């Protein structure tokens, strides 16, 4: 596969292009390469500035449509980001969540296997399941997964993503790579309820909304769960390291090749993408966001309402459950791609929050 960045005859298909990660990936492809982009999404409201770009074609369509799937699979590189991935929907809309995270990606994977495209599929760190507070590093190819019971429908998303990974890995003739994000943060993440979306967004947009509205941050079950928040810019750099490696014959990044002689490279691999140095509990995240918001607004943090603890079921509804810690092993990405996330948590949070405040005060 020859995917040189300066080759303007290459088109990458980005499915879910109008979403948080998709909008950053689109910008980076247009800025760092001469590739063309075929972007597919249900809507493109985040991409107003790109809609008339000469190297972009946008299709407002549903991945559930088999004709759309066939069109996407004609391109040599397909990045699939499309998914329902808002936790509050995992409880009330389990069947829709499973269709979105298993049925649609499975159909796309079949089409890519037939056409010979390289499928870069976005899974999730949730496939590691119900991890305990003292669980160690999560390794892509050896950590076992335990999930909550069927009555805890929060696991509808994680189990559908895991099955999609297994299906992709089992398809003969498919050239694939799976990406497992660990809590990416950055501008354009999610929505502000009642303004450009409904329901409960993921934690970054959730806390940002409360701060902008002068409401207390809600700490689900005391905010004891820990996560490794990762800048979306590091995530985009990971993808470029991946694309770069995928263009070499061995499938290994050129500067990592000698250390990995004989390895199958980036194909038929799942990668954790996260920043272990950015681990915080959700309560610590709330404290950091309050301090950053106070700085951005030029007020004293004591002027902001104190966070409040709420039970998971009270906040998200029946069927809520959680993982207490998600610490990625990032050794594989370092070994095969020479990639390591670099952006510190405070920098990523300040950028995200400053964007949110500016964007939603307009
Ligand atoms: N952002 C993270 O931290 C994170 C964490 C774990 C996993 N992921 C995975 O990464 C991927 C992208 O996440 P994101 O944060 O950009 O989410 P997002 O919700 O911002 O973007 C997903 C996009 O997919 C689109 N989409 C959904 N269903 C579709 C359909 N049927 N047809 C066409 N488009 C459809 C949505 O409209 C949306 O624009 C998802 O697969 C998600 O599960 C992200």
- Give per-residue pLDDT as tens, 127-164: 999 999 999 999 999 999 999 999 999 999 999 999 99
- What was the pLDDT predicted at 62? 98
* Probe target for ligand 1 pocket from 19, 26, 124, with the most ligand atoms within 8 Å of CB: 19
Residue by residue, DSSP assigns 43-86 as --GGGGGGTT-TTEEEEE--TT-HHHHHHHTTSSEEEE------
* β-pairing verdict for 269-273 and 175-181: parallel
* Probe target for ligand 1 pocket from 47, 81, 127, with the most ligand atoms within 8 Å of CB: 81
Residue by residue, DSSP assigns 296-317 as HHT--GGGSPPPEEE-HHHHH-
| Strand order across the beta sheet in which 175-181 lies | 56-60, 36-41, 11-15, 77-80, 118-122, 175-181, 269-273
- What was the pLDDT predicted at 362? 63
Task: Kindly report the protein residue whose alpha carbon is nearest to atom 39 of ligand 1.
Answer: 19
Q: What is the band of 251 on the pLDDT scale with cuts at 50, 70, 90?
A: low
- Give per-residue pLDDT as tens, 267-306: 999 999 999 999 999 999 999 999 999 998 899 999 999 9
**pLDDT above 70: percentage of residues in the chain:** 95
- Domain 11-361 fold is Rossmann fold (3.40.50)
Q: Coil, strand, or helix at residue 179?
A: strand
Mean pLDDT check: name the lowest of 1-15, 104-118, 215-229: 1-15
CB hemisphere CA count around 117 (13 angstroms):
27
Q: Kindly give the number of the ligand 1 atom that is closest to the alpha carbon of 185.
A: 3
- What was the pLDDT predicted at 249? 52
Task: Kindly report the protein residue whose alpha carbon is nearest to atom 6 of ligand 1.
Answer: 124
Is the pLDDT at 258 greater than 50? The verdict is: no
Which residue out of 157, 188, 316, 320 is catalytically annotated? 157
Is the pLDDT at 17 greater than 90? The verdict is: yes
Q: Kindly give the number of the ligand 1 atom that is closest to the alpha carbon of 86.
A: 19
What average pLDDT score do residues 85-102 get?
Answer: 94
- What was the pLDDT predicted at 261? 44
What average pLDDT score do residues 340-353 get?
Answer: 98
Is the pLDDT at 212 greater than 60? The verdict is: yes
CB hemisphere CA count around 189 (13 angstroms):
31
Task: Kindly report the protein residue whose alpha carbon is nearest to atom 38 of ligand 1.
Answer: 19
- Give per-residue pLDDT as tens, 39-84: 999 999 989 888 999 999 999 999 999 999 999 999 999 999 999 9
Is the pLDDT at 264 greater than 90? The verdict is: no
Report the pocket of ligand 1 as residue ranges, CB < 6 Å: 16, 18-22, 40-43, 62-64, 81-83, 85, 100, 104, 122, 124-125, 181, 183-184
All residues at 6 or more sequence positions from 351 whose CB lies less than 8 Å from its CB, including other chains: 186, 187, 231
What average pLDDT score do residues 323-333 get?
Answer: 98
- What was the pLDDT predicted at 265? 86
Task: Kindly report the protein residue whose alpha carbon is nearest to atom 12 of ligand 1.
Answer: 81
Structural contact between residues 131 and 322, judged by C-beta atoms closer than 8 angstroms = no
Ligand 1 center to residue 136 CA distance, Å?
Answer: 27
Tell me if residue 90 is catalytic. no
Q: What is the band of 2 on the pLDDT scale with cuts at 50, 70, 90?
A: confident
Nearest residue to 274 (alpha-carbon basis) of 326, 225, 325, 224: 326
Ligand 1 center to residue 84 CA distance, Å?
Answer: 6
- What was the pLDDT predicted at 6? 92
């Amino acid at each position: 596969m020859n995917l040189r960045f300066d080759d303007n005859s290459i088109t990458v298909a980005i499915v879910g292009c109008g979403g948080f990660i998709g909008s950053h990936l689109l910008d980076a492809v247009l800025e760092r390469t001469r590739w063309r982009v075929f972007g597919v999404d249900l809507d493109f409201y985040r991409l107003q500035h790109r809609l008339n770009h000469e190297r972009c074609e946008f299709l407002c369509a549903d991945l559930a449509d088999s004709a759309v799937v066939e069109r996407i699979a004609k391109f040599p590189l397909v990045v699939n980001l499309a998914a329902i991935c808002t936790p509050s929907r995992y409880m009330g809309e389990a069947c829709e969540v499973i269709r979105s995270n298993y049925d649609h990606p499975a159909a796309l994977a079949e089409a890519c296997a037939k056409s010979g495209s390289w499928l870069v599929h976005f899974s999730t760190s949730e496939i590691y399941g119900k991890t305990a507070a003292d669980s160690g590093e999560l390794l892509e190819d050896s950590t076992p997964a335990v999930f909550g019971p069927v009555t805890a429908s929060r696991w509808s998303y994680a189990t559908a993503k895991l099955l999609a990974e297994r299906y992709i890995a089992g398809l003969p003739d498919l050239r694939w790579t799976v990406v497992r994000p660990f809590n990416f943060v950055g501008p354009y993440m999610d929505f502000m309820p009642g303004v450009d979306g409904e329901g409960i967004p993921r934690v970054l947009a959730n806390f940002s909304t409360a701060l902008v509205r002068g409401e207390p941050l809600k700490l689900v079950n005391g905010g004891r769960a820990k996560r490794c928040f990762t800048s979306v810019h590091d995530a985009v750099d990971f993808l470029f390291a991946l694309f770069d490696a995928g263009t070499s014959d061995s499938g290994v990044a050129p500067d990592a090749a000698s250390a990995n002689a004989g390895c199958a490279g980036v194909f038929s691999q799942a990668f954790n993408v996260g920043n272990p140095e950015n681990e915080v509990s959700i309560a610590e995240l709330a404290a950091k966001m309050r301090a950053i918001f106070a700085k951005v607004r030029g007020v004293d943090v004591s002027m902001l309402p104190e966070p409040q603890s709420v039970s998971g079921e009270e906040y998200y509804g029946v069927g809520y459950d959680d993982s207490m810690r998600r610490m990625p092993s990032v050794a594989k990405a370092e070994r095969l791609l020479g990639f390591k996330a670099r952006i510190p948590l405070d920098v990523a949070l300040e950028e995200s929050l400053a964007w949110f405040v500016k964007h939603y005060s307009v």
